[in-house]
Structures are given as structure tokens and as C-alpha cells.
Amino acid sequence: MSAVRALLVDPEAPRSLRFGEIPEPEPGPGEALVEVRHASMNYGELRWALHRPVGAVLGYDVAGVVLRAAADGSGPATGARVVAFSNGTWAERVAVATDALAEVPDAVPLAEAAALPVVGITALRTLRAAGSVLGKRVLITGASGGVGRAAIQLARRGGAYVIASVGGAARGEGLKELGADEVVIGLDTVDRPVDVVLENVGGPHLVASWNLLAPGGTIQQIGWAAHDQPAVFPPNSIYSPGPAKSLHSFSDMSHPGPDLAVLVSLAARGELSAEVGWRGSWERVEEAVDALLGRRIPGKAVLDIAPEGR
């Protein structure tokens, strides 16, 4: 059986990752075999790497070319440029269910497409769950990250007044150019209620966001960048007269293909930019990990796994 190169979890290795070989994937009837050109890294994947089994291949975001179309006739043809949300994408090849990928328009570089799946689907689906944002005040916390940057663009496109909350002045650079009407540090200066919150920070930030929420408003709780800090709601603090306020969690990445098609279509029309803060060969993976975990880059880190010209 042939093998492919991959990044494997190894607690003894620098940054808990090392190169190794795994068996070449064998696609099922409804799966395409994709040659990985680019894969992107998410903060959460790296933060929880040591909780995964030794030898596991991490990664969810991938863009590449179909080497073998699905045997059942579904999905793109051999040779198609595709983007996908899958498992174990930090490898030279990956088998992907055809309902988890979409063709990439020629106008969109594959490296940019690789930065879209996790953050783009999360931003798109949480905004969709909040209902129409036309004319509403939308607060995005942790707005300098990949999800936040995608959400700013999508919320503005939906007609919202967008407030981007960040941890420091440097983290807010470029967010107004993406579509934020206000960029604030923390939440203390937000002096009017908001209708929708996309909450990426957790801990005390989640409590503060709830206190800013207007009657009838909703929080879509996405991430917990506050690590081990709890969200402590004082007695009776969740009571609100009038229309009910609501808090929802998000983790639904099922059947992402159609939403990936939406995202790359928006990117092709110049209505959504993939925010890539670091890009380089996967041989430089330690550098990428340090940049992400150190919060030194905006947006995503993209690994070049195979040259696009191949």
C-alpha cells in the first residue's frame, strides 16, 4: 500500500507535531480523492492538539485538486479545483465526502480558498441563525480572528451596523476597511444595546455581552478564547422584561458543501476576502504554530503543501 506524508500529533515533538507517513486514503463511494495544495490552521486545532491521540492527523480546511472523482458519480470531476471541510487535512492527500466540498472559481486562488471553510461557515451559519440583520446593531467579539473578520464582512453585506470588539488597538487595524462601523477595545465603550452578538471570547466577555443585549436580541456563542475563565451570571441577571433574549451555542459543521459554494462565490465577486495572516511551506509549520498561538497574526495561517502548478 502506498503512503503519503502528513503532519502527525506527537507530544515529544516541537509544537507537538512531526512529519510522518500514513496510508494513502481509500475513498468510499461518495468520496473524492483530493490532492492537497493548501491547508489552513485554526487556533482551536492547535490549542487542543495534545488532547488528540498520538499519530492523529489534524486539520479541517483544505483546497486542492480532485485526483479521483467519487465512484457514485456525485461531486466534481477529476481535475476540478475544490475547497473542502474535512478531517485530517494536514496531509498530501485526503478523501472528502462530496457533500463537504465545492468547486473553486478560477478567480479565487486555492490558497485563499483554503482559509475559508471553518471561519467562513461559522460566520455564515451563526449570522443566518440570528435572522435578518438589516438595520440591526451587530456586535462581534474577538473580531480580529478569522471568524470575526469573515463575520464583519458578511454582516455588513447583510445591512447591519457592525461593532467589532478587540483586545487591543493593534488587533483592530484593518477592521474598518473590512466593513466595521466601529472598532472598540473591550466592551466598556459600547453605550447602546445591540441586537445580535457573535461571541468568540467567552468568560466575563459573555456576561458583558448579555448585559448589552437588547430585548429580543440573540447571542450566538462561538468560541472561548478566555480559556479557563468561567462566565458567571449574577443572580437574576438573565431576567429581562419584554421580548425574550436568547443565547445559542454553535458547532454545526454538517454538510458544508453548499455553504462553501456560497463563500467562494462571494470571494470570486470581491464581496468576501479570505484573511490570511501567514502563509508558507508546511516545512515551516513550527513558525506558523508560534504565530497563531502567540496571537501575532490576524486571520488564518495557510500551509502550502503542494505547488499549485503541479
Domain spans of the chain, in order of start = 3-115+274-304, 119-249
DSSP 227-283: TT----PPTTTT--SSSPPEEEE-----S-HHHHHHHHHHHHTTS----EEEEEEGG
Residue 216, pLDDT score: 96
According to DSSP, residue 107 is labeled: T
How many C-beta atoms surround the C-beta of residue 152 within 10 A? 30
Residue 299, pLDDT score: 80
CA dist 139 and 182 (Å) reads 9
Query: Which are the contacts of 249, defined by CB distance < 8 A and separation ≥ 6?
Result: 221
Residue 1, pLDDT score: 64
According to DSSP, residue 91 is labeled: B
Name the pTM for this structure. 0.94
CATH of range 119-249; options 3.30.1380.10, 3.30.160.100, 3.40.50.720, 1.10.10.10: 3.40.50.720
Range 3-115+274-304 has CATH code 3.90.180.10: yes
Q: Regarding beta strands 194-199 and 137-140, do their DSSP bridges make them parallel or antiparallel, or are they unpaired?
A: parallel
Q: 3-state class of 104 per DSSP? A: coil
Contact (CB, 8 A) for 302 and 110:
no
Contact (CB, 8 A) for 36 and 92:
yes
How many C-beta atoms surround the C-beta of residue 241 within 10 A? 6
CA nearest neighbour of 69 among 109, 24, 102, 29? 29
Residue 14, pLDDT score: 86
Contact (CB, 8 A) for 180 and 188:
no
CA nearest neighbour of 68 among 112, 109, 24? 24
Full pLDDT tens readout for the chain, 310 residues: 689 999 999 999 988 999 999 999 999 999 999 999 999 998 888 877 777 899 999 999 999 999 999 999 999 999 999 999 999 999 999 999 999 999 999 999 999 999 999 999 999 999 999 999 999 999 999 999 899 999 999 999 999 999 999 999 999 999 999 999 999 999 999 999 999 999 999 999 999 999 999 999 999 999 888 888 999 999 988 988 899 999 999 888 999 999 999 999 999 999 999 889 999 999 999 999 999 888 888 888 999 998 654 4
Contact (CB, 8 A) for 225 and 202:
yes
Query: Which are the contacts of 230, defined by CB distance < 8 A and separation ≥ 6?
Result: 203
CA nearest neighbour of 8 among 109, 119, 65, 91? 91
Which amino acid is located at 69 in the chain? A
Contact (CB, 8 A) for 293 and 45:
no
CA dist 199 and 279 (Å) reads 27
CA dist 205 and 184 (Å) reads 13
Residue 224, pLDDT score: 87
